[in-house]
Amino acid sequence: MNFWRLWAIARKEVIQLRRDTRSLVLAFLLPLLLLLLFGYAISFDVRNVRTALLDQDNSAQSRQLIDAFRASGYFEFSTPIARTSDIGSLLDHGKAQLVLVIPPDFGRKLGSGQTAQVQAVVDGSDANSATIVLAYTRAIAQTYSLKAQLDGRIVQRPITAESRVWYNEELTSRNMIVPGLIAVIMMIVAAMLTSLTIAREWERGTMEQLAATPVTRAEVVLGKLLPYIAIGLADVVMCVVLGVWLFGVPFHGSVWLLMALSTSFLIGALGLGIFISAVARSQLLATQMAMILTFLPAFLLSGFMYAIDVMPKALQLLTYLVPARYFLVVTRGIFLKGVGADVLRVQGLLMIGFAVIGLALAIFVFRKEIR
């Protein structure tokens, strides 16, 4: 490996990048847009659940229960309905996500120490929101139930579960999303930046010019990587700064550890991009492959938004092959848990392994011979 030839390739790539300012701008605009969208526009927290009320009891107890729902702040009550038959049309038209039905004997049963029934009818078509709405409903009903017992003859509640949440006490989805997003963004940006570089040279015919020079495969691959590592790291810094300052995501760990492991992950991701580029040889094909091999797994199979434990076994096994899965543990660990290298030992080694494999794949598959 000749350092000067490597340097020359890197310089050529930088010059090319500088001429293509729009791609460069996009490399920063894309992470920024994703961060702002996830930070401001979307959240998993289900709020303002449109709730319709069918209070057939109209007693002090039923009003107490409704107040408990109201006080939680998750529900937004529309005008009460009078008949069971109204439930259907409300849900059909999407006017309500949740209908709370309190039967006529509710107050009487509670008063006489019997079990009173309450019904929650939820629009299940958005199962994700419905699951969370039901979790809220359950918690409120449970609390009310306990209170009713304490008010009555039973003095002591049998078991108290002291629930505590660590690392993200208020359970804000932003705190979960932003550190995870950094892992996803790096995978996307890295793949986008490099997945076209070699295919482009093939399409434009400049690969023949490269082939005529004495540069080796490793020199071309490493030379092409260097400028993109710099861009990727700048993206990481931007995301961390925005995440902490703009969105107030706690950062408990070491910045240096995050940067070191990010660099390692970046090298692997960029190498993967070059690998795709070398295999595809056509930019159109490379974009399609990049979407399937990098973006999709990083977005869906990394545990970024959706828990891996729920997936079918086969898909769970597949997630072990997704590098972003491990990097996500790193970013969340450093941001939210403040853990250090001792806890992240395995993930750290995997990051280094990813870098080595990514580079090896790129160098191994890349051929400059003209076929």
What's the closest the beta carbon of residue 176 comes to other proteins, in angstroms? 5
Determine which helix (DSSP H) or strand (DSSP E) holds 217, and give its type and residue range.
Answer: helix 217-245
Q: Does 222 engage in binding with other proteins (CB under 8 A)?
A: no
Nearest Cα residue to 278 out of 162, 161, 185, 198: 198
Q: Does 89 engage in binding with other proteins (CB under 8 A)?
A: no
Rank residues 216 and 295 by Cβ distance to other proteins and give the closer one.
295
Q: Does 152 engage in binding with other proteins (CB under 8 A)?
A: yes
Q: Does 68 engage in binding with other proteins (CB under 8 A)?
A: no
Q: How many chain residues are in contact with other proteins, going by CB under 8 A?
A: 118
What's the closest the beta carbon of residue 358 comes to other proteins, in angstroms? 20
What's the closest the beta carbon of residue 77 comes to other proteins, in angstroms? 15
Rank residues 2 and 89 by Cβ distance to other proteins and give the closer one.
89
What's the closest the beta carbon of residue 36 comes to other proteins, in angstroms? 9
Q: Does 69 engage in binding with other proteins (CB under 8 A)?
A: no
What's the closest the beta carbon of residue 356 comes to other proteins, in angstroms? 24
d(CA 202, CA 191): 18
The string over 165-188, giving b where at least 16 C-beta atoms fall within 10 Å of a residue's C-beta and e elsewhere, is eeebeeebebbbbbbbbbbbbbbb
d(CA 77, CA 196): 52
Q: Does 239 engage in binding with other proteins (CB under 8 A)?
A: no
Q: Does 241 engage in binding with other proteins (CB under 8 A)?
A: no
Rank residues 153 and 214 by Cβ distance to other proteins and give the closer one.
153
Rank residues 152 and 248 by Cβ distance to other proteins and give the closer one.
152
Find out whether 69 and 51 touch, Cβ atoms under 8 Å: yes
Q: What are the distances in angstroms from CA 245 to CA 38, 248, 249, 250?
A: 15, 5, 8, 9
Site string for other proteins, 181-210 (x = CB under 8 A): -------x---x---x---x--xx------
Nearest Cα residue to 188 out of 69, 93, 327: 327
What's the closest the beta carbon of residue 195 comes to other proteins, in angstroms? 8
What's the closest the beta carbon of residue 85 comes to other proteins, in angstroms? 14
Report the site for other proteins in 28-57 (rule: CB under 8 A): 29-30, 33-34, 37-38, 40-48, 50
Report the site for other proteins in 289-328 (rule: CB under 8 A): 289, 291-292, 296-297, 300-301, 303, 305-307, 309-312, 315
Nearest Cα residue to 54 out of 29, 90, 9: 90
Find out whether 338 and 252 touch, Cβ atoms under 8 Å: yes
Show Cβ contacts of residue 364 under 8 Å, excluding neighbours closer than 6 positions: none
Rank residues 30 and 226 by Cβ distance to other proteins and give the closer one.
30
Rank residues 43 and 263 by Cβ distance to other proteins and give the closer one.
43
Report the site for other proteins in 107-136 (rule: CB under 8 A): 110, 113-132, 134-136
> According to CB under 8 A, which one of 57, 332, 348, 355 is a site residue for other proteins?
332
Rank residues 79 and 160 by Cβ distance to other proteins and give the closer one.
160
Report the site for other proteins in 154-173 (rule: CB under 8 A): 154, 156-173
Report the site for other proteins in 267-296 (rule: CB under 8 A): 280, 282-285, 287-289, 291-292, 296
What's the closest the beta carbon of residue 232 comes to other proteins, in angstroms? 14
Q: Give the CA diameter of the chain.
A: 93
d(CA 248, CA 26): 25
DSSP-derived letter for residue 310 is G
DSSP-derived letter for residue 309 is G
Tokens, residue 90 = 């409300």
Find out whether 179 and 250 touch, Cβ atoms under 8 Å: no
The string over 15-38, giving b where at least 16 C-beta atoms fall within 10 Å of a residue's C-beta and e elsewhere, is eebeeeeeeeeebeeebeebbeeb
Show Cβ contacts of residue 295 under 8 Å, excluding neighbours closer than 6 positions: 187, 188, 191
